[in-house]
Structure formats: C-alpha cells, structure tokens
Chains A and B, each alone.
Chain A
Amino acid sequence: MKKMFIIVAVLFISFLISCGGGEKKADSNSTVSSGEPVTNTDNPSYDPIRGEGKFTDVAIAATLDQAMAIEGEKVYTVKCSSCHKLTDEKLVGPGFTGVTGRHTPEWVMNFATNPDPMINKDPKVQALLELCLVRMPNQNLTDDDARHVYEFLRKNDGVK
C-alpha cells in the first residue's frame, strides 16, 4: 500500500521535473546551513587583519591597564586556561606567548567573541585548525571580557 503511494509520488515528482515546473525549483530546495558552514578562504569581504566581528577600532594605550588585566586573568582562568597555556607551549590550542604581536587587538577580540565565522574564513585560523583539530569553542565572552582578556594577554607579553 505504502509502496504504491511512493511509486505514485515518485512518478508525480518526476513528472513535475520533466515539465520544468518552475525555474525557481532548485532555489527553493536549497537550504541555508545554520551549523558549520563550508570552508571559504577566498571571501573578498573578509579582512584578515581585523577579523570578523563587532570590534573595528579598539584604542590601546601604550602602558598596561592593571585593573583590566586583573579582570582579564579571572576570565582567562575560567574560560580559556583549559586549552591555552601562557607560555608558547601548545595544549589544545596554541600557547599565548606573543599573541598580541601576531595579531591586531581587533582580530584577537573578534576571534574570542565570534570564533565560528572566523574559523571558516581566516587563513591563519584555518592553518591552526589543521594543527589543533579542535574548533575553538565560543565561550560567550562579553565585550568587556574580551577587552580585559586582551589586556591580560598584553601583560603576559610583557607590557608594563
């Protein structure tokens, strides 16, 4: 019984297709993936210096903001230290030594708060993914958290 309906359905669908039922068919069948989008390295709109996210222009003083760095260390301890050491040794992700020299503050803060799109687009991140094999989790840092962690990373890199 069911088989019969399936045959009918298949015939019907093939009939629709054979008639070229509508030019938009292919379009309406395509779906937007909300999960892990496909890798796309040559996205012209992507800015590899700034990364992708809400931070466009972060003002950084020449000297360290101690209060921010202390707050940043607290966030680091709970949400980052499982995977990132403060040395240059790789744990799950790369060690943090020198990270403020390798990337702009905007890039670091965007990556910390918006990792998934950057994992899909950023050439540096993609190279790291091949090495680490774990996509950096979104730990839902607030904007302030991200700024504080960045200040802590500056401290870790020797800024006084």
Chain B
Amino acid sequence: MEKNVVAAMVLAIVLFAGFSSCKPKDIGSAVSGDAAAKSYVAPGKYDEYYNFVSGGFSGQMSAYGLPSGRLLRVIPVFSVDPEKGYGFSEETKPMLNTSHGFVPWDDLHHVQMSKTNGDYDGRWAFGNANNTPRVARIDLSTFRTAEIIELPNSGGNHSSPFITENTEYVVAGTRFSVPPDDKNGDVPINTYKQNFKGTLSFISVAKENGKLDLAFQIQCPGVNFDLSRAGKGVSHGWFFFSCYNTEQANTLLEVNASQKDKDFIMAVNWKKAEEYLKAGKGRKQAVRYAHNTYSDVTHSATSEIKTEVIVLDAKDLKEICYFFPCPKSPHGCDVSPTGEYIVGSGKLAALIPVFSFDKLQKAIAAKDFIGDFDGVPILKYESVLYGEVKKPGLGPLHTEFDNKGNAYTSMFVSSEVVKWNIKDLKVVDRVPTYYSVGHLCVAGGDTKTPDAKYMVAYNKITKDRYLPTGPELAQSAQLFDISGDKMQLILDFPTIGEPHYAQIISAELVKNKALKFFKMEDNKNPYFSNGEGATKVVREGNKIHVYMTAIRSHLTPDNIEGIKMGDEVYFHVTNLEQDWDVPHGFAIKGANNAELLIMPGETQTLKWVPDRVGIFPMYCTDFCSALHQEMTGYVRVSPAGSNTPLLFSTGKNYPVSDTAKKK
C-alpha cells in the first residue's frame, strides 16, 4: 500500500516535470501510469476481446469486453435467472432437469471455447457444473445455453470441460470418487479403497452442430481428479489429469490427503481408448442421466433421460492410462502451445515441475515404471521430468502461455503472477495481485497460438479494493498488459459470483455471428401466434391457453375474462417484432413464477395460477417505446363455477356494458 503511494507520487512528479516542459517527446516511455489509456474504450466503441468468465457459485457464465472490463452479458447456464426468465418460463425449465429432478442452482467453474486446429473458432463455449455433474454448451450466436448433459458415475465434476484441439471431445473427470452408479452405494464411507472409483467422461461434440453425446467413460482408481488439459500438436491424442488424494482418504482431506510427497498426473491416451471402444472392449453399464437441449426453432427445451453408458476399465485395458508422480497435491496441469510441455502446479509444492511429452513417450516405450497404483502403471518421475522451476513463489495453481516462450503461473498463497521462461525455467518477472489469485488467463493462452496481449488474474479475495458492500464483497478480475517485458496492471473490475477459469477470445471471431432476432417464419413453437389474427384463448378443462402477441405498444388480447378460480393459465407470448434489440417483457400480478422476457420472433410461456377473485393487471416489463406505459391489459378472475363467458379482445371493449345496453 505504502509502496503504491510512493509509486503514485513518483509518477506524479514525472508527469509534473512533463507538464512544466510542455513538450512530451515520448509519452509511452515517460509514463508507466498510462493504464487508464490502455484500458480505455471510448463510448460507442467496441472492445477488442470477449472475456468469457465462469460465475462460480452463481452457476452462470459472464461475457466481458476487454480491455474495458465492461460486463456485456450474464449467460444463464446452471442456475435460474429471473432477468432472462431462464428456468422460469415453461420453455426453459427442462434445461435444468437432471436425474435428481430440477436443480435450480449449481456451481460453474471452468470455461472453454471450442477449438479447430488448436485455436479458438468462436462457435461455442463450454462450462461445467461442479456440484451435480454436468457439462453445458453455449451457442455464441445467441449467447444462450444450447445443451446440457449430465454425467453418471461422477461426483463433483471439476476437471472439466476441457477440450481436445479440434473439439472432438469435452472431458469431465470426477473430483469425488464414488461407487459406480450400478453398484450398491449403501456401503460404509471408510470403504473408499475397495468401493470408490474415479470416472473420466469423454463427451463427443458433433462437428456440424455441436451436439453432445456421452461417447464413453474410463473407470479409474479412486482418487480426486482435479484439473485436466488436452494435449495439442505433438501431444494431440492424449489428455492429462491432475490427481490429488492418492492417499485415498475419505475424511479430513485437509490433512489426510496431504500426506504424500508426490501425487500424480494421469496421462490418458484417448486415441487408444477409441480403439478399444471400436473393438467392443467397453462394458455397457446401466445408468440414468439427463440430456437437455434447447431449440431456437421451437423456442423450447426438451429433457431426455438416458439409461446406458459404455465404460472402459483402465486396469484391464492396458496402454490407456499412465500415472506419473507430481509434487504435491497438483491442481493445474497445463500444456504448452507446442504440446511438448506439461506444467504441473502442486499447490503445496515449492517448485513447478515441467514434464516433457517426448520423455513421457520414451519412458512408456521403455516401460520405465516404478510400480502401479490399483493396476495403472506409475512412470518414474525423473524419466518424464523436463525440469523444475525453482522458488517460483508459494501455492502455484494454474499456468497459461504467451507466444514468446513464456509461461504465467498464478500463486495463490503469495498473491502474485510469476512469469517464467519455458526453455530455461528461469523466473523473468513477477507481479502482485490483489489478493490471492486463483485462475488466470492469457488471450488465447491455452491455444497453439496465443496472442498474448492481455492477461487477467481472477482473485479470490478483494478486501479493501472496492467500496465495501457489507460482509459479502465484490469478486475481482485484474487486467495486465503483458505485451512488454514487464507485466503491467491496467485495470480492476468486479465480476459476478466467483470467477474461476475464463478465456479471452478475439471479438472478430464472435461478434459477426450474433443473431439479431428470431425469424417468425421459422417459429415452430406449438403455441406460436403468427400475427395478431392468430391470437386466441382456449379452455382445455381447467387449463387456459392464452395465445398472446406483443408489439410496440400493445398486447393482444389485452382484456381477458372468463378465467375462474382453480384454472391454470398459460400465457404463450409471441413477440411480433422483427428487428434487433426490441424484446418485450410480460408480467401479471401475483405470478408465483416470475416474468418473461421475449426476444423478437420468439414465443415464451408463463404459467399463472390465480389465487383470488378479482381484476389482475398485466403489462410489458421492458421499456419498448414511448407508449410502453400503455402496453398493459387486464385479466378478470371469477369464482369457481361462475358462468362468466370466456372473452378476449384488444380495442373491442367486450362485453357490451350495461350502460351501453340501456341506450
């Protein structure tokens, strides 16, 4: 703190010197405090990058602009979101269905952008649900969750959703080993060693439309799979998973899972696994998992429960899995741009081991094993090791890369990011973070060709960095310019939830794909109203379906009578607008459910069960035009069994009033 004040004063003096001379020769070199200019994006101008950031315990994903740090959108993924009606509208509820039923709130940790040839292609983003294990695919033309797949045989989907270099697979490794779903799980907890298994799921991604399919699972010894990365370039075809709790403890892991000097990284030859799969070596296992998809044509989601998965056994099927030792309780295991180096970050280790893929291959060929762990061979540490970064800092967690041969590792305990050279393993720069950095990301930092202009540190603690807001404080991201030799902090910005992993992608790859509105011609929602002429109110027993339209600035119908106590009313609202940025909202008094927000050309449904007799106002909740305040209507609710006729209209004034009749 003190240091910073001094720095600022020095800066001020430098500037004053410049001021008095009034002739800046070279602003860039004179000012190290040009941070404001570097992160400034003028009003009306676009950012250069999108930053897709996990929302942690909020269960959502957010999109920021960089370098400005502007929050562009919160994308609802694993939690309900009243702002968008996600999980509230009848059409979106199935997205949050699981084999455990409707789960309204989960924990999203990691974000991955789809890749082609090891570089981002701007098609989809993926996120993981850490609690009830799932993987989601987000469509980057709509910035909406398009698909969610649940993972059987898993508990705590943490080493996920990391992807291969052509998005062949998204993986999901279980953090908690558990008894397999088809075994009796009613066993003593302290039978971990006998009964608990670790499962790695390989979810295939269809090239043309991104459709997910749980292709196979690999059953592994019971440990905690923490993080993972796909090989790329030379190591394409392999996957690497960090493992902790190789002690196989089931209680007080803080102590009991920190006993060993080294745990493991597991190298998985997924091409080999594919061969076994093709040869029919997999075992069909009965399971239950939900697979949910959202259609932009029907504007609704469907949830299907699937009942079978193919499992490959790592113990029986040789040459898929190998362990190699890694000190100590490794967290991140990150792969360099060429694919040759695998960086393990032992969160309790005082060094950073860097492993060589080439040496790994040679060690496997030479069967350079020091034993096995539950039937999976363990390679000799020294045979796989390229070298160690000595005294990097305390608590290494994650590593990303630039295009100049450098790696950037986050240090949780010593609150800093350390930049080091991959070849000679020497630390070249370090910069403090405020405070306790967890993940970090470099623009394109996990691709074959990082563009390495910016690095963002995602901090776990902010304490005094922002105006206080009670006991719960803003989470934070810190943006660094890494284009020079020294990393330079240029911006702090708060984030939603807890930011874990994030990715930075050039705006050019995404922004031109943005869908502007849904074409009414393509709307296949069964309750779509194709124009006001198609609006109606239909009674089916005690269910009332209101086929409603919204356009600036009225609802049709806007007067509805004949609803009775005991009825369930479904408002199917179609937004008739066919232009960008003209959503309409819909709300009715007393709705226990929420509201709707309907994009142009879209149909969304709000279920409403009236709880009393009377007149209920309804209105558009999204300021749409000068006459937005007029975009309203009424619903009349009569007692059960009354004979109020079902009437609906806009601008008609049904029924003919008594005073009019007397004339």
Contact = CB atoms under 8 A, between A and B. Distances in A.
B533 A31 contact: no
Contacts of B33: 5, 8-9, 12
12 contacts: A1-B1, A1-B5, A5-B36, A8-B12, A12-B33, A15-B22, A29-B42, A92-B627, A133-B625, A135-B625, A137-B578, A138-B579
Contacts of A4: 5, 8-9, 12
Interface of B: 1, 4-5, 8-9, 11-12, 15-16, 18-19, 22-24, 31, 33, 35-36, 42-45, 517, 519-520, 530-533, 549, 551-554, 556, 576-579, 582, 625-627, 651
A135 B628 CA distance: 12
Contacts of B530: 78
A83 interface: yes
A129 to B, nearest CB: 9
Contact of A18 (B22, B549, B579): B22
A88 to B, nearest CB: 16
Interface string A1-39: 100110111011001101101000000010111100000
A50 interface: no
Q: Identify whether the interface residues of A are mostly helix, strand, loop, or mixed.
A: loop
A11 B19 contact: yes
Contacts of A79: 520, 531, 576, 578
Nearest to A28: B42
A41 interface: no
A21 B25 CA distance: 11
Nearest to B11: A8
A137 B35 CA distance: 42
A136 to B, nearest CB: 9
Given A8-B15, A81-B532, A140-B579, A133 B31 contact: no
B253 to A, nearest CB: 39
Given A8-B33, A9-B36, A134 B531 contact: no
A137 B625 CA distance: 10
Interface in A118-150: 133-135, 137-140
Contacts of A31: 42-45
Contacts of B519: 140
A66 interface: no
B44 A33 contact: yes
A37 B4 CA distance: 44
Given A19-B23, A19-B24, A137-B552, 6 more contacts: A8-B15, A11-B15, A12-B33, A79-B578, A82-B549, A82-B551
Given A77-B533, A82-B554, A140-B578, A134 B627 contact: yes
Contacts of B45: 31
Interface of A: 1, 4-5, 7-9, 11-12, 15-16, 18-19, 21, 29, 31-34, 77-79, 81-83, 91-92, 133-135, 137-140
Nearest to B33: A8
Nearest to B1: A1
A16 B16 CA distance: 12
Contacts of A1: 1, 4-5, 8
Given A15-B22, A31-B43, A78 B582 contact: no
Contact of A77 (B18, B531, B579): B531
Contacts of B625: 133-135
A134 B626 contact: yes
A29 B43 CA distance: 9
A5 to B, nearest CB: 6
A140 B517 contact: yes
B11 A133 contact: no
A67 to B, nearest CB: 19
Nearest to A29: B42
A135 B627 CA distance: 10
A81 B531 contact: yes
A137 B22 contact: no
Contacts of B576: 78-79, 82
Contacts of A91: 651
B578 A19 contact: no
Contacts of A8: 8, 11-12, 15, 33
A139 B19 CA distance: 55
Nearest to A13: B36
A82 B578 contact: no
Contacts of B533: 77-78, 81
A19 B31 CA distance: 16
A11 B579 contact: no
A137 B582 contact: yes
Contacts of A5: 8, 33, 35-36
A133 B552 contact: no
B384 to A, nearest CB: 46
A79 B626 CA distance: 20
Contacts of A18: 19, 22
A133 B22 CA distance: 52
B627 A133 contact: yes
Nearest to B15: A12
A4 B8 CA distance: 7
Contacts of B520: 78-79
